[in-house]
Structure 1
C-alpha cells in the first residue's frame, strides 16, 4: 500500500514508465488523468519531475531527498501564491462549488436576466490561472491594478519579442521624417488629401500611437507642397551629378476635366552603368497643343533641372506637331548656343508605328474594334488623338491591281472576315453578361482539360485588345463549341471560321511580341528595336510570298496578302524616317556590332553608310574627350644642318591623333562578340576601360528609349488620381501627386524620396 502524491490517499499504485527519462512513476490510476492531462488508456505517456516537463509535481521512485525537499518547498510557495491570488481575486469573483468542483463566478460580468452569473470559470485543484486569464482578456484595467508587476514585466518582454511593433511605440524626433512618410504614403496609394479628416481614421492611427500627427486636408496639402519641393531639389542634384547625356520622352494627355497635360520622363545611364528612368514633370498645357507650345514647355522643364545642354535624344509619337516641336526646340536652344539636331535627335515612337501598321491591316479586312458600352469618353478622346497623330493620308489604291469582275467577290470575303470577328465578339459578350453561362463555360473547360480564361472585350483605341479577345476565345474553342451546343441562344463558330481566326492570331501575335519587347523601361531598347522591326518585316514578306506561291489561291488568301503588304508598307514608310542613331545603337550593342547590320535586309543596304556615320560620331567624341598625355615630338629634337640631311629622329616620333584614333574602333569591331543573353550594360561596365571613347558613346546613346511608352505610363497614373470624384484638383496638386508617386516607384526612390 503506497500513498499517491496527488491525492495522498493510500491505494494500490500503477507503475508507468516515463517517456523522457525511462524511470518509473508510481501513481494512483484514478489520479493519472489529473497529472498529465491525457485521456485514460494512454498511460504510457507519463512525464515525471526528473525531466522537468509540463511542470508536473510528482515523485519518482529514484528521486533524491534533496530534490524531494526542493519540490515540497516549491509546492508550498505556489500554495501561498495561490492563496494570495485567491484573496486578491475575491473582490472580483464569487467562489462556489458546483458538481464537486470549485468555480469562480465573475462579479464584473454580472448576472443575466434569469439571475445566473454570465461567466463561470472552473478552478481545478483551486487553481486561479483561469480567473487571472479572464481578467487579463476581458477586464484589462482591473487586471493591471491587481497585478502591476506582472503587467510591466510582460510589456517589457513584448517590446523585445515583437520588434515589428517598435515603430508604433517610438515617435521619431525628426518632424520632417514623419511628414515625409505621410506624404509618400498618401501619394503612393493615390489617397485623397482629406483621407485623415474622418474620426475613424484618426482613431485607427491613435490606437497605435497617440503622438502620430494626423493632418487635416489643408495641412496635408501644405505638407505635400513642401515635400515635393524637397524631392524636386533632390532630383535636380541627382541629375546635375550625372556626367553623361539624357534622353527624354514627352507626350500629351487629356483628362476628365478636358484639360491637356504634358508628361515628361528622363532616362540616363549613370557611372555604375545602371539605366535610370523616372518622371521629371507633369505640366499643364496652354490649350494649344502646338509644336511651339510643346517646345517652350519642354525647354522650361529641362532648363529648371539644368540639363537642357545635355540632350541625347527625345522620343515622341508620330504626331505632326512633334516635327514642329523638335524644329522649334532647335531654334530655342540655338539662342543658348546649344546644338540640337531636329532630325538625328528626334526619335519616333516605334510602338505607335506598329499600331498604325496593325490598324491598316484590320481596316483592310474590315475588322474594326468594338464600339460599344465598354468604350468610355476618355477612350473616345484617345481615339481622336490617335487619328490626329497619323501624318499622311492613306492612299485608296488597295484594289487597283484587282480586276473589276473580282472586286465584288473580294468585298464579300472582306465581309466574311469581319463577320467572323463580330460573331466571336457577340458570343463572348453574351457569356460575360450571364453568370450561369460563364459557370457552364468553366465546367466545359474542365471537361476538355483547358485553362479557363475570362472572356474579354476589345476596345477601339487598343488593337492588342482585339488580339487578346480572339486569342482567349481560340484557346477555349473546344469548350465554346460544346457550350454553343448546350444553349440555343448562342451562335456556334464554324471550324473554317476558327481556322481563319488562327491565321489572324498568327501575324497579330508577331506584332504583339515586338511591341512588348521594345516598350521596356528598365533595360536598353533602342538596338533591339532595330532587330525586331527587321524581323517583323522579313516575316510579313515571307508570309506574303508563301501565300502567293500557293497553287490554289482563294479570295481570303488574297485579302491576307494585301493586308500583309499594306502593314509592311506602313512600317517601311515610317522606317525611312528613322535617323542614323538607330543603326549606331546596333553597333554599340556588343552582341551584334557591325555584323548585326548584315543580318537584316534593310540594314544590309546601309552597312557602309552606317559605319561611316559611326566613325564620324566617334571622331567627335575622340576630339572632345581624348587626352594626349605626351607630346607628338621627340623629347630632345636635334637641329639638322640643312633640309637635305636625313632626319633619323622621325622614326621615334609618336603617332599623331589623326593616325591612332581608328585603333579603338578596329579593336572593338574585331574582338569576339558575347553571347546573345549577355546584359549590355553589364558588359560595358566590365569593358569601359578597354574602349573608353566608345563607352562614352554607349552611355549617351543606349539610354534613348525606342518608344514613348514611359510617358504614357504617367497617364495611367493620372487617370487614377484625376477621377470623377477628384475633378477639382488644381494643376499644381495633380503634378505633385503624380510626380511623387512615380518617384516612389522608381529605382532612384532612396536618393529622391530619402526612403528605402
Structure 2
C-alpha cells in the first residue's frame, strides 16, 4: 500500500482484540458464583456454605478441580447435611435405618438380534455332539422349553433337522479335505466294524497322519453300511470307495485291521483295482496290513480267563455271598483280622465285558485266599472257595495276565500314542511267553503255550512294522532291535532277524529318497560381494521348496560373476569337477599331485545317507517327558528325507479303537443302538462323522452387543 508506514502495516495485520470471555460449561458453576475481590483478582464462592476459593489472579486461572472436590467428597457442610436428610427420608420409606446414600444399580440390557438360521444350526450341532434323537424337535416339552427361552424361534421338524445335519456334514467334510490337501505326507487307515440288532454291518474308516506342524491327527473318513462286514469283498469295496472319495489313492501307506479280518479281504480284486499301480504301496506292500494291538491283547486275555472259567465263577459267587448281607461282611472282616491278612486291595465284582476288572478281581482274591478257605470251614452256607490247586493255577494265570494288563496301561497312559511305543511292549510279552512255554513246570508251560500261540502269530505278522517304528525313535534306533531279537531268538538267529529289519528300513528309505522332495525355504542368507561381484549363497538352512534335491545348486554353481562368467580366483574350484569345490591349489609348492589324489578320493568316496548318519549317531537319553514328534520337528532340517519317512511311520495306528477302549473291545465289533440303526445310512454316516469332526472345531460364540444401563 503506497504511503503506509511499517507501524501502520503492523497495526493493520494484527488481529482485533476482544474482552469477551468463553462461556463457562463446567457443572461446578451450578454450585459456585464468581466474586471480584480487586482488579484482576476473583474468587469462587459456594452457594451453599458461602466458603470462598481462589479462582484467578491477573491472567492466571486456578481451574475448577478444587471446586469439584468441595462438592463431591463432602467438604461442603450444607451438601453433606442435605445428603443425610435424603438418606433418612429414604430409610423411613423403606423401613431401613441406614444413613448411607442409595447405591447405583447397573442393569444389562441385551440388544442382540435373534438369528433363526444360527439357532437352528446350533440345535443341529447339539443333537450331533450329544447323540440326541432327531425327533426330539417334535417333543412337546422340548418345544415349550424353547418357546419360553425364545418365542421367535421356529422349531424345525424332523425332515428339516436332517437337512441341517447333512449341511453341517458337507461343510465339515470340505474343511477336512482342505486339511488333507495341504498335508504332503501319506495317510494311514484303520478299520473298525460295527453291528446292529438287525444283523446289518457298518465299516468305519479312519485316517491318521502327522501334519506339517508335527501334530498327530485321526479323523473318521467314512461310516458305510454293508450287508456283511466280514464278507469277502466288503472291506476292500469300502476302502476303495473311501480312497476315491477323499482323493488319496496315491497317498495310502498302511491299513490297520483287527485280527478277525483276513488279509485276503484287503487284497481282493476290488481294492487291487484301486491300487493297480504297484508303486502306490511302499516296500512292495510289506507294511501294508497292520494288526490291532488292542485286539490281540483282548483275545489272549479273554482266552486265558476262559480257560479257568470254573475258578472265576467260584470267586464271583464268593464275593456275591460275602456282600449279600452285613453279617457276612462283618464275619469275613473278622476272619481277615484274625489271620492278619494285609489289606492292600479291595474285593470288588468285575464287569465281565472289561477283562481288566476281571484281572483286578482275581488278583485281589488271591490275597484273601486263606480267608475264603477259613470261611468255608466255619460257615455251613458257604462252599464256593477254590481248591489249593485252583489257587495255584490262578496265581500263574494272573502272573501272565499282568503282562497284558501292564502293556495296555502303557498305551492308555500315553497321550496321542505314536507307533514307536508298541515294539517294546509287544517284545516283552513275546519274550516272557516264549520262555514260559519251555518251563519245567507243566502247569506254567501249558498256560503259557495257550497264550503264546495266538500272540506269536501277531508278532510274526507285525514285528517288522513295529521294529521299523522303534528305529525311528532316537532313543532306541537299531541298537534296541539288535538287543531285543538276540533275547528272543538267540545270537545266531537274532542276527538274521535284525538284518531283515535293517534291509526293510533301508529299502523304505531308498523309496523316500527316490521321490522328488519339495523344498521349503526356512532361512536363506545371500550376501553380495560388491568388490568382485560374487554372490555367496548359504544353502545350509534350505529344505524343500518347489524343486527337487537334484536341482539344488552345488557350491561351484553358487560362485559366479554377475555376467555369468567364472571369476579368476575361483577357477580352481570349477575345473571340470576334478578338484574339490572351494579348494585353492597353491602354485609352486610341489603338491599338485597330492591335490589331485585328494580330489579323486572325494569323487569316488560314497557319502553316507541321512539314514546311516542317523543310525550311527549316539542315542538320545531316555527321559519321561520325551516328545518324539517334537524331536523330529526340530531335526527335520538335518534329515529332510528321513523326517518325511518318520512322519509317515510314526502315524501308523496300531489300534483300531481309542486307547481308552483297549480293555473292552469284545470280539472286535461294536454295537449301534436300535434308534441309530433305524435311520437312513446317509444320516447315520453324517451323524457319526460330524460328531468326530466337530470335536476339533472350537465352539463359536455370538458376538456380544449388550449395553450397560445405569439406574440411579
**TM-score (ref. length: structure 1):** 0.63
- Does the 8 A contact of 1:236 with 1:305 survive in 2? yes
Q: CA deviation at 1:214?
A: 3.9
Which residue, out of 458, 465, 473, partners 2:352?
458
> Is 1:254 matched up with 2:195?
yes
> Which of the residues 679, 684, 687 maps onto 1:734?
684
Distance 2:164 2:414 in 1: 31
Q: Are positions 1:189 and 2:138 aligned together? A: no
Residue 627 of structure 1 corresponds to which residue in structure 2? Answer: 549
Identify the match of residue 265 of structure 1 among 181, 201, 206: 206
* Structure 1 residues 638 and 126: alpha-carbon distance in aligned structure 2, compared to 1, 3 A threshold: closer
* Pair 734,488 (structure 1): closer, same or farther in 2 beyond 3 Å: farther
Per the alignment, residue 382 of structure 1 pairs with: none
Q: Distance in 2 between matches of 1:661 and 1:617?
A: 16
Task: Check conservation: 2:240, 2:270, Cα contact below 8 A.
Answer: yes
Equivalence for 1:637: 576
1:77 paired to 2:20 = no
Match of 1:30 in 2: none
**Matched residue, 1:425:** 316
Go from structure 1 to structure 2 and tell me whether the alpha carbon gap of 1:208 and 1:688 turns closer, same or farther (over 3 Å shift): same
> Per-residue deviation at 1:727?
4.8
SS at structure 2 position matched to 1:741? helix
Work out the CA distance in 2 between the residues paired with 1:481 and 1:251. Answer: 45
Match of 2:502 in 1: 611
Q: CA separation of 1:79/1:520 partners in 2, compared to 1, >3 Å: closer, same or farther?
A: closer
Residue 256 of structure 1 aligns to a residue whose secondary structure is coil
In the TM superposition, residue 307 of structure 1 has moved relative to its aligned partner by 1.6
| Change in CA separation of 1:485 and 1:716 when aligned onto 2, cut-off 3 Å | same
C-alpha distance in structure 1 between counterparts of 2:76 and 2:391, whole Å: 87
Q: Is the 8 A contact 1:317 1:349 kept in 2?
A: yes
Bigger shift: 712-721 or 69-78? 712-721
SS at match of 1:613: helix
Greater CA drift, 662-671 or 688-697: 662-671
Aligned to 2:381: 489
Query: 1:297 & 1:362 partners in 2: Cα distance?
Result: 35
The DSSP-based 3-state class of the residue aligned with 1:709 is coil
Question: How far did residue 583 of structure 1 move?
Answer: 2.1
Q: Is the 8 A contact 2:195 2:669 kept in 1?
A: no
Show the counterpart of 2:186.
245
Aligned length: 552
Secondary structure at the counterpart of residue 233 of structure 2: helix
**Residues 268 and 521 of structure 1: is their aligned pair in 2 closer, same or farther, counting only changes over 3 Å?**
farther
Kindly state the Cα deviation for residue 749 of structure 1 after the two structures are TM-superposed: 3.2
The whole-number CA distance in structure 2 between the counterparts of 1:734 and 1:657 is: 63
In 2, are the aligned partners of 1:343 and 1:579 still within 8 Å (CA)? no
Partner of 1:501 in structure 2? Answer: 394
**Selected match of 1:296 from 237, 262, 269:** 237
Write out aligned runs for 1:168-207 (5 A): 170-171=112-113, 173=115, 177-207=118-148
Cross-structure match for 2:227 = 286
CA-CA distance at 1:212 after TM superposition? 4.8
- Alpha-carbon distance in structure 2 between the residues aligned to 1:283 and 1:691: 40
| Contact 2:345 2:364 (C-alpha < 8 Å) held by counterparts | no
In structure 2, what is the Cα distance between the partners aligned to 1:444 and 1:158?
65
User: Matched residues in 1 for 2:79 and 2:700: separation?
Assistant: 60
Displacement of 1:491 in angstroms is 3.2
Check conservation: 1:423, 1:491, Cα contact below 8 A: no
SS of 1:578 mapped into structure 2: helix
Query: Which residues of structure 2 form unaligned runs of 5+?
Result: 1-73, 518-547, 557-572, 579-591, 703-712
Once the two structures are TM-superposed, the CA of residue 696 in structure 1 deviates from its matched residue by 0.8
Does the 8 A contact of 2:236 with 2:267 survive in 1?
yes
Cα displacement string for residues 410-429 of structure 1 (whole angstroms, at most 9, x for unaligned residues) = xxxxxxxx4x3321122234
- Whole-Å separation in 1 of the counterparts to 2:270 and 2:278: 12
Residues in 1 aligned to 2:186 and 2:236: alpha-carbon distance in whole angstroms: 19
TM-superposed CA distance for 1:226, in Å, is 1.1
Matches of 1:659 and 1:696, distance apart in 2: 23
Kept in 1: contact 2:317–2:384 (CA 8 A):
no
CA 1:727–1:249 in structure 2 vs 1: closer, same or farther (change >3 Å)?
closer
Hey, what does 1:569 align to over in structure 2?
Answer: 453
Could you give the per-residue CA deviations for residues 585-629 of structure 1, whole angstroms, max 9, x where no partner exists? 121111100111122134833222322222222122122236032
SS in 2 for 1:619: helix
Tell me, yes or no, if the aligned pair for 2:287 and 2:465 is still in contact at 8 Å.
Answer: yes
Q: SS in structure 1 opposite 2:462? A: coil
How many angstroms apart in 2 are the aligned matches of 1:77 and 1:210? 43
Asked if 1:578 is matched to 2:462, the reply is yes
Q: TM-score, structure 2 length as denominator?
A: 0.67
Aligned position for 2:444: 560
Structure 1 CA distance, aligned partners of 2:470 and 2:270? 27
Where do residues 2-401 of structure 1 align in structure 2 (5 Å cutoff)?
72-81=81-90, 85=93, 123=95, 154=105, 156-158=106-108, 170-171=112-113, 173=115, 177-212=118-153, 214-287=155-228, 289-319=230-260, 321-328=262-269, 331-335=272-276, 339-340=280-281, 341-359=284-302, 361-362=304-305, 366-368=307-309
| Cα separation, 2, equivalents of 1:540 and 1:485 | 38
Q: 1:310: how far off?
A: 0.6
Q: Does 1:511 align with 2:404?
A: yes
Which structure's relative contact order is higher, taking Cα pairs within 8 Å and 6+ residues apart? 2
Deviation at 1:510, TM superposition (A): 0.8
